[in-house]
Structure 1
Amino acid sequence: MLALRWLGVVAVPTALALAFLWAGGGFSPDRITQNRLMAELHNAGSYGHGFRRAHAKGVCVSGWFDASADATQLSQAAVFHERHVPVIGRFALAVGQPYAPDSATTVRSMALRLMPPDAPEWRTGMNDPPVLPLRDARDASDFFASQQIDPATGKPDPARTKAFGVTHPWLKPAAEENARRFISSGFADDTFHSLDSFILVAADGRKTAVRWAMMPMEPAMPSNGKAGDHEFLFRKLISDIHDHPLQWHLVMTVAGAHDVINDPSQIWAQDDQTIDAGTLTLNAIESEDGGPCTDITFDPLVLPPGIQPSDDPILQVRSAAYMRSFLRRSGEKRGPSAVTPNLIQASSEGKKP
């Protein structure tokens, strides 16, 4: 039964990933392949052993999405027309080690699976930096290679990291933009960005390029990371979500005339039109040890009618890497998560596990 459940979860994303890789020449020997990306992630310190190769430390959440109806003019997707759409999600840190200590400055992610009744689902993965300092598969491969762990120090070689910046000057504006981002106190008051661009398709066929962000209703407060507490970000999330439901606005940013759509490293204009597409509410949290998000790949190419991928090449990279990661971890024996059921119970009661 477990194998059948995995097959059901993986079938559609696998077909999409393979189709895009084949169309894009992803299996050619001179291209960046799934195996190459996985090897580079491993050399950069990815733990493996049944965990996701990136964003390895996480927790499952669930709730619902209520559409505002303001995005219906741009997209026929059911999620923009309905209320109380069930959601399964995951908060995570962008680390390859599932037992790494929490750090306020580590990139945080929100991944969602929105499931309208009697309509195709939508999956999205978002990060808290506002822009992605990578342009294509070659940039991604070069970046992972620059993060290779030096056996002598157990850390990436600073010279190799610096060399990546020198040899990829076109990524400098994006990196500088991310360096200026506000570091909030936790997941609940953080903003999460799609990074990649997508195409919304209206009922009449009209197409609109957008990026989106989940913007918190909680006032954003500065981080006050707790030294010595390896799970302080997750403890805070558990406490917050048990204290009250957490909410975000899904804000669509419409590409302006001069915005670059197919390069995620390009910063869009600050005065672009925005549309509040609805409200995400999360009111439950569970450990990945048996939680509902554990076997889900949050593949950004799992899209419903009304949302299409742009020609952004990073979308193909992400989809292919997620699927290869899933196929590998699904065949591996997995240890307990850092955020265990006991930690969730104790943190919700204000205790130490």
Structure 2
Amino acid sequence: MRLALAIALTGLLALPAASRAQAPSNPATPEQLVDALEGMFGRNAGLRRAHPKGFCAEGEWVSTGAGAALTTAATLAPGVRAPVLARFSLAGGNPRAPDNVDNARGLAMRLDLPGNESQDFVVISAPVFGVRTPEQFRDNLIARRPDPATGQPDQARIQAFVAANPEVTRQAAWIRANPPSDSYASAPYFGVHSFLFTNAAGQVRPARWSFEPAEGRRSMTPEDRQRLGANFLEAELAARLARGPAEWRVFLTPAQEGDVLTDATLAWPEDRPRVEVARLSIRRVAAADACTGLMFSPVSLPRGIDPSEDPILQMRTPAYAESFSRRSGGQ
């Protein structure tokens, strides 16, 4: 397959067989994933099925030029400045989710690049995703679906699913140990998937994205949760941007020998060497309808960057397209 071939040609990594995606026995479909979200959170007509609570913003991406050694992609070419349309959001499928509870923040954005190219990012404020495969995504939501008679989930069913799929606890454990931020501007964001970066010599190197807030990370304290309330994030960021841009230092962390490229529930070591490749500057909250008609796809990539075989990454665009079709149709 393409990933194995690229790595074999470059000799940069020797991947164990376990790092390659295995075919599931009961493969999930995009329709099943969106149905599972609706079964858990309800059918919220006209809204995104995942991350429905959110708003859009505008800014700029500025490349440092340091990433040009890793890829020929216009995203990281020296001197590149690109306009950004971004969407901040809360994870999950509840459009009324409270801002002050343990939950991941999300950031999706589109860069308009030179040469009539673009790149989409879909990143979250935890370094790991909640499930490893689309089948786990589907089955996890089904296991947690409330019983229509009681309005409560079946705890025995949840415990049985978790016992059989222990990796689904990793994201929640990280969030408990790292409480959510007191602002979208003070949150880090992580590309939990691996991508393949090709340089001018044709060498391919897997790497992961991360975004560190320039003003530093800040987590909510128990007092903050009480003071800030359930709906503070959008107004807080608008007030913050009125004083000046919110900025993030953008890094790429190249993979090392033995890293698994197809499991988004596994974080790479925090002390891993990384390269600062860009600066993201968010300058203003955008009009309410600025990205209503957009579908952000993390595999919308310029030449020089390709997706890995991570099964969650591969399923995102088909599932997003199914969700987009339903909300565009007023469902």
Structures share a fold, TM > 0.5?
yes
1:119 aligns with 2:116: yes
| Offset of residue 176 of structure 1 | 3.2
After TM superposition, list the pairs within 5 Å mapping 1:183-194 onto structure 2. 183-194=180-191
Work out the CA distance in 1 between the residues paired with 2:286 and 2:152.
32
Work out the CA distance in 1 between the residues paired with 2:51 and 2:158.
20
What secondary structure sits across from 2:323 in the alignment?
A: helix
- Pick from 38, 45, 60 the counterpart of residue 42 of structure 1: 38
1:260 aligns with 2:257: no
Work out the CA distance in 2 between the residues paired with 1:252 and 1:228.
33
1:181 aligns with 2:178: yes
- Scaled by the length of structure 2, the TM-score of the pair is 0.86
1:85-113 CA distances to partner (integer Å, 9 max, x unpaired)? 01001000113222333234221100110
Q: Which runs of 5+ in 1 are unaligned?
A: 1-23, 334-353
After TM superposition, list the pairs within 5 Å mapping 1:212-227 onto structure 2. 212-223=209-220, 224-226=224-226
**Residue identity opposite 2:274 in structure 1:** T
Change (3 A) 1:296 1:272: same
| Offset of residue 127 of structure 1 | 0.7
| Offset of residue 160 of structure 1 | 2.9
**Residue identity opposite 1:75 in structure 2:** T
1:130-151 CA distances to partner (integer Å, 9 max, x unpaired)? 1113111211111121221233
Change (3 A) 1:296 1:160: same
| Offset of residue 229 of structure 1 | 3.8
Contact 1:78–1:116 (CA under 8 A) maintained in structure 2:
yes
**Residue identity opposite 2:88 in structure 1:** F
- Percent identity, please: 31
Change (3 A) 1:240 1:46: farther
What secondary structure sits across from 1:282 in the alignment?
A: strand
| Offset of residue 178 of structure 1 | 4.1
What is aligned with 1:204?
Answer: 201
What is aligned with 2:71?
Answer: 75
Change (3 A) 1:31 1:221: closer
Contact 1:226–1:232 (CA under 8 A) maintained in structure 2:
no
What is aligned with 1:322?
Answer: 320
| Offset of residue 201 of structure 1 | 0.9
What secondary structure sits across from 2:278 in the alignment?
A: strand
What is aligned with 2:280?
Answer: 280
| Offset of residue 227 of structure 1 | 5.6
Work out the CA distance in 1 between the residues paired with 2:51 and 2:291.
13
What is aligned with 1:10?
Answer: none
What is aligned with 1:313?
Answer: 311
What is aligned with 2:239?
Answer: 239
Change (3 A) 1:30 1:277: same
After TM superposition, list the pairs within 5 Å mapping 1:11-50 onto structure 2. 30-50=26-46
Point out the more displaced range, 306-315 or 100-109. Answer: 100-109
Contact 2:103–2:175 (CA under 8 A) maintained in structure 1:
no
What secondary structure sits across from 1:149 in the alignment?
A: coil
Work out the CA distance in 2 between the residues paired with 1:89 and 1:156.
34
| Offset of residue 208 of structure 1 | 0.7
What is aligned with 1:295?
Answer: 293
| Offset of residue 228 of structure 1 | 8.0
1:15-52 CA distances to partner (integer Å, 9 max, x unpaired)? xxxxxxxxx9x9x9952111111111111014420000
Work out the CA distance in 2 between the residues paired with 1:67 and 1:153.
53
CA RMSD of aligned residues (A): 2.3
| Offset of residue 78 of structure 1 | 0.5
What secondary structure sits across from 2:184 in the alignment?
A: coil
Change (3 A) 1:107 1:153: farther
Change (3 A) 1:307 1:116: same
Work out the CA distance in 1 between the residues paired with 2:211 and 2:43.
29
Change (3 A) 1:95 1:138: closer
Contact 1:115–1:122 (CA under 8 A) maintained in structure 2:
yes
1:53 aligns with 2:32: no
Work out the CA distance in 2 between the residues paired with 1:140 and 1:265.
12
Work out the CA distance in 2 between the residues paired with 1:55 and 1:170.
22
1:150 aligns with 2:130: no
